[in-house]
Amino acid sequence: MTITSTQWGALPDGTPVELYTLTNDHGLEVSIATYGGAITRLLVPDGAGNRVNVTLGYDSLAGYCADQSCMGVLVGRVANRIAQARFTLNGTRHVLDRNHGKHQLHGGSRGFNSRVWEAEANETDAGPQITLTRVSPDGEQGFPGTLRVAVDFTLVGDSLHLDFGAITDAPTMVSMTNHSYFNLAGRPGADCLDHCLRLASGQYLETDADLVPTGAVVRSFGTPLDFRELTPIGKRIKAPCAALTNGAGYDHYHVLADTTLGLKFAAQVLEPESRREMEVWTTAPGIHFYSGNHLHEALSDKHGMVYGPHSGFCLEAHGYVDAPNQPGFPSIQLDPGVAYSQTTLYKFPVK
């Protein structure tokens, strides 16, 4: 295994940004930037040992600084949408940064994805690892409490493990995730609509026209959102269904059938031509499936190709969407003296 780091550039204020690359004996290679904790590339092998990059990204720091799609980054303090960009905690109303119409999305306009993190590399018994840390001060993007955050990226066998941790000095809300866009074909410019998806879920959160949860958890059985069996992403994406119309495709949080607190299977994706496969395992209670509906045509990838809608898909494991405003959803409140912990791993079995 190897760990290397390079000076990748600097922000306009002179803050340096590093790029770390981890490799292991199973043929995995991942590059992670200290800006936003972005996974800039993830090389995985097929059965013949041929490695391809299975994530979307940019070839320079400038691309990530200008990015509006959360390409490969860490998302927080709270992933996904918070209705009206506000919540009440212990009788105090907190007004958040609005960056999605009247709502907040992925932690606000200056969330974790646009911050420079401290980095420490380690060769662990499990595999090469980089730990990113930062302190989110009280009031950042409207959230209460000073939050100390650490995220471990570790290559373990045929998997990339992400271990999220945080502690706070005052009650707050925390629900982090990684926002990588995947395309297992390894062909620049190809869409992901022929990828076959299976989700370990038969329920999803009903949403309104703004994709904010109504509070109802509904069955996906027999609907275009039913992915209990391997199904091409594009097969039903244009079906006449309000849930798909509102999101211009798939953009929904699926509640996992396994309600245990430990690591559990959440999703499987199979690319039919290469037979390349990915599994997602997580300790989170659900996973948000996004089919890249709003990727802009002007986005350029590492190879000079142009991204567009459905160039990649996201499988974001985190707590229930808008949990701070939905008393019927599992809480994402974090209190002093309690450690936040969440693990997600992306597994690439070679058959």
pLDDT band at 334 (very low <50, low <70, confident <90, very high): very high
Q: What local confidence, expressed as pLDDT, does residue 305 receive?
A: 62
Give the range among 40-54, 77-91, 105-119, 132-146 with minimum mean pLDDT.
40-54
pLDDT of 47 > 80? The answer is no
pLDDT band at 299 (very low <50, low <70, confident <90, very high): low
The percent of residues above 70 in pLDDT, for the chain, comes to 97
pLDDT tens digit sequence for 237-291: 999 999 999 999 999 999 999 999 999 999 999 999 888 999 999 999 999 999 9
Q: What mean pLDDT value characterizes the chain?
A: 94
Catalytic option among 254, 310, 316, 318: 316
Helix and strand totals (H; E) in the chain? 2, 27
Domain boundaries, position 49: 2-347
Report the CATH number that the domain containing residue 321 is assigned in CATH.
2.70.98.10
pLDDT of 300 > 70? The answer is no
pLDDT (mean) for 204-228: 97
pLDDT band at 187 (very low <50, low <70, confident <90, very high): confident
Whether 255 contacts 329, CB under 8 Å: no
pLDDT of 303 > 60? The answer is no
Beta strands, E only, 191-260: 196-199, 201-207, 213-219, 231-232, 251-256
303 is catalytic: no
pLDDT (mean) for 298-311: 69
Burial 299-317 (b: 16+ CB within 10 A, else e): bebbeeeebeebbbbbbbb
Q: What local confidence, expressed as pLDDT, does residue 193 receive?
A: 97
Catalytic option among 161, 179, 254, 318: 179
277 is catalytic: no
Q: Three-state SS string across 4-32, please?
A: EEEEEEECCCCCEEEEEEEECCCCCEEEE
pLDDT (mean) for 121-140: 97
Provide the domain count of the chain.
1
Whether 347 contacts 158, CB under 8 Å: yes
